[in-house]
Amino acid sequence: MTESVETTALTPVPGATGQTGTVVRSTVLKRLFKNPLGIIALVILLGMALLALFADVLAPFDENFANISKTLASPDSVNLLGTDSSGRDVWSRLLFGAQLTLLSALLCAAVAIGIGLPAGLIAGYYAGKFEAVSNWIVSILMSLPGLIVLLTIRAAFGPSVWIAMIAFGVLISPSYFRLTRSAVQSVRNELYVDAARVSGLSDLRIITRHIFSVVRAPIIIQTAAIAGVAIAIQSGLEFLGLGDPAKATWGVMLSEGFKNVYLTPTLLFWPAFAMALTIGGLVLLGNAIRDALEDGEKIKHRRTRTPGTDPVTGRRPTAAPAAVRPSRKSVPAVDPGTEHHLVKVTNLGVGYPQADGSIKKVVDDVSFHVDRGEILGIVGESGSGKSQTAFSILGLLPDNARVVAGSIQFDGSYTVAPGEERVSQERLSKLRGKRISYIPQEPMSNLDPAFTIGYQLVTPMVRVLGISKAEARKRALKLLTDVGIVNPERTFNAYPHEVSGGMAQRVLIAGAISCEPALVIADEPTTALDVTVQADVLDLLRELQQRLNIGVILVTHNFGVVADLCDRVAVMQNGRLVEEGPVRDILRNPQEPYTQTLLASMLEGKEPMSTLVSPLQKEPVA
């Protein structure tokens, strides 16, 4: 049995068998085997395939051998599942039927793949005329009524399972075509395809090496589904009596059983059972493969664990689950003497539960504070936890994130009290937008393309400040003028795609200060902008901050931006706060080696073409 595992597991993938070995990388295969549904599906399909393969050996009778003296018999030692109305052995017919049914499903899928896949590859890669023409053909094919075409073909060519399945394969090839074409289109302009072109690879090599890999997985999943549909359609045709009566298939048996349903209901049961099992197995296999390919995401959707069972939070006694629920009454008062800080973050730890039950900490023991009218810069490289820290103040951490330690207080009261696992949305939603606002990194993706800029500025003001629409509109125009937009009326009526990136960022800044917040959190507000635009936006931020006397937390990786704006700096590395202090101290006399390395990496003032990183401090390759 073991040696046939490979082939049987892949039976629903005719035409792609050669590649499957590489697609389903061992890790995916392993994940497939770990999934109980995947194993069940594989066992069912494997069993079916083996039964079909060895039908000649396993079947005690020929498919059409009739014992007229023994019709509609109950199961006995000779006829394991009894006999039908002509005295033919049900078990034998079931086995031969499996053979024909599975093979015809394979044929159908093979034809569909054989037409849809190459056409989709060519149309997706070259686009142009071929794509236009094949789209027309596909549209025509899809508008044909499938069953009527199959009936016509039967009338023209006679009752052949094979011809019917080839025709059905052609009819459903558009689904492969569309699948392949859209997958190819998504990678056609990837840089690695460009790199292959620069290397002088022929188009054929590029398609087989670089493009085919993205369509393999969806094709396999699609095939599992298509094979199931093919079995159903084929059996349906035969159930209607349109098949070849000389061949035993599940459909013919179903039809036979239906005629005798009042005499021997089991005749109906067995072919129906076999079909349900096979089609179910195919669907489950498709799902299992999809799950195996997307396994990375599955961890995130795990049930959240109760805090009491967390093995890692052992830093301090975890609060009882009841205390975690946001409750109005029991928010403790902040430590006396710290109320005057606008924001105070104390020993904050943020983590994400992993699949194995542990918690991966992305922010660890971080403490800092920001006062009114002060700009704090949080500097660090990617993965340093700087954005996660900012998001926990905003209460915008992803659902699966856990505050594993520490507290956050805003304006004298806790938004995350010590011992709480999550940011209290109840408390924060009152603050967000009114007292705390946010300037994001990507201006364009933070404006909704479906609404005008004016609408996106007015709506929050109407909601948060409770002013009339006309009043909000007046304010919005004033704000747009304030952020240095020359023609505020026109920008107000424009849609986001009609303005430049710098302009969009000005709009978002206008939005952020529209409700007169006390704290603005800016997450890399200038990273996506050109240098000249960045300088303008920094000027704007400084001017607004001084005029409105707001506190700002500026998350950035750029020491130039820090020097331009910040009063104090906190340097973060791997989730920890490395160093914190006034901007001049940190930039001129950094104490920690990490800050020194970062500053030494700056190019400004360096001798051109000199080595930047001395071999001694070279870490294990970046």
- What does the binding site for other proteins look like in residue numbers (CB under 8 A)? 190-192, 194-203, 205, 209-210, 213-214, 381-382, 501, 530-535, 538-539, 557-564, 583-584, 587-588, 597-606, 608-609, 611-613, 618, 621-622
Q: Count the neighbouring beta carbons within 10 Å of the beta carbon of residue 75.
A: 13
Q: Toward other proteins, which CB reaches closer, 228 or 502?
A: 502
Q: How far is the CB of 426 from other proteins (least distance, A)?
A: 37
CB 538 within 8 A of CB 561: yes
Q: How far is the CB of 350 from other proteins (least distance, A)?
A: 21
Q: How far is the CB of 203 from other proteins (least distance, A)?
A: 8
Q: How far is the CB of 378 from other proteins (least distance, A)?
A: 15
Q: Report the distance separating Cα 335 and Cα 441, nearest Å.
A: 34
| Angstrom distances, CA of residue 619 to CA of 476, 489, 503, 610 | 51, 54, 41, 19
Q: How far is the CB of 6 from other proteins (least distance, A)?
A: 21
Pairing mode of beta strands 568-573, 375-379: parallel
Q: Toward other proteins, which CB reaches closer, 117 or 583?
A: 583
For residue 404, the surrounding DSSP H or E stretch is: strand 402-410
Q: Count the neighbouring beta carbons within 10 Å of the beta carbon of residue 466.
A: 9
Q: Report the distance separating Cα 342 and Cα 270, nearest Å.
A: 74
Q: Toward other proteins, which CB reaches closer, 329 or 618?
A: 618
CB 381 within 8 A of CB 355: no
Q: How far is the CB of 132 from other proteins (least distance, A)?
A: 15
Q: Would you state the structure tokens that stand for residue 454, as one six-digit string?
A: 């004016």
CB 220 within 8 A of CB 23: yes
Q: Toward other proteins, which CB reaches closer, 458 or 566?
A: 566
Q: How far is the CB of 214 from other proteins (least distance, A)?
A: 8
Q: Report the distance separating Cα 441 and Cα 555, nearest Å.
A: 10
Residues near 167 by Cβ (< 8 Å), separated by ≥ 6?
149, 150, 153
Q: How far is the CB of 503 from other proteins (least distance, A)?
A: 14
Q: Toward other proteins, which CB reaches closer, 202 or 546?
A: 202
Q: Toward other proteins, which CB reaches closer, 40 or 201?
A: 201
Please state the φ and ψ torsions of residue 490, each to the nearest 5 degrees.
-70, -45
CB 414 within 8 A of CB 331: yes
Q: Toward other proteins, which CB reaches closer, 356 or 619?
A: 619
Q: Toward other proteins, which CB reaches closer, 145 or 383?
A: 383
Q: Toward other proteins, which CB reaches closer, 106 or 499?
A: 499
Q: How far is the CB of 193 from other proteins (least distance, A)?
A: 8
Q: Toward other proteins, which CB reaches closer, 94 or 562?
A: 562
Token look-up 């949305």 returns 425
Q: Toward other proteins, which CB reaches closer, 386 or 427?
A: 386
User: 90-126 vs 212-239: helix axis angle to the nearest 10?
Assistant: 140
SS3 call for 271: helix
The stretches of 54-160 forming alpha helices (DSSP H) are 55-58, 90-126, 128-143, 146-157
Q: How far is the CB of 114 from other proteins (least distance, A)?
A: 23
CB 344 within 8 A of CB 330: no
CB 536 within 8 A of CB 409: no
CB 125 within 8 A of CB 185: no
Q: Count the neighbouring beta carbons within 10 Å of the beta carbon of residue 155.
A: 10
| Angstrom distances, CA of residue 470 to CA of 132, 162, 454, 509 | 50, 71, 12, 21
Q: How far is the CB of 446 from other proteins (least distance, A)?
A: 18
Pairing mode of beta strands 359-370, 519-523: unpaired
